[in-house]
Amino acid sequence: MLSFEDQSQFDNTINGQNINLTSVSGFAPLSGNLKSSSDSEFEDTLVVSERLSKLLNINREVKVGNTVYRVTPNGTFFADAENYDLLVEVATEEFNPDDYIGQNNISGLKISHLQP
């Protein structure tokens, strides 16, 4: 997962004219792991920005400052880096976000739930 020092560094990178991350060891960008857009069955419809897809890993994650973001079909989830395992757990299981947070009183996890 790529890690940016702060929001400013992330913004400068994504708004740059050329995003070249081939020199980042071990990083596999989401954009490099998608099938051709002519094969809509495998096309990623969650991340439509080509620039953003170059910064997300294959799990659609990026770290900005101390916050990890993960894009899913259920919305964009984010949490402090120390809550990464919980973020993955919550973002990958089917649930009602309001019920989950209410039942577990978790303050370190924030959810931006997208309505279809």
How do residues 14-28 score in pLDDT, each as one tens digit? 888 556 666 577 777
Structural domain spans, the chain: 1-59, 66-116
pTM of this prediction?
Answer: 0.71
**Which among 76, 73, 64, 89 is positioned nearest to 1, based on CA atoms?**
64
Q: Is the model's pLDDT at 13 over the cut of 70?
A: yes
Number of H helices and number of E strands within the chain?
A: 4, 5
The angle formed by the CA atoms of residues 53, 54 and 58, to the nearest 5 degrees, is: 65
Q: Is the model's pLDDT at 38 over the cut of 70?
A: no
The more confident residue out of 57 and 101 is 57
The more confident residue out of 96 and 113 is 96
Give the bridge partners for 64, in sequence order: 4, 67
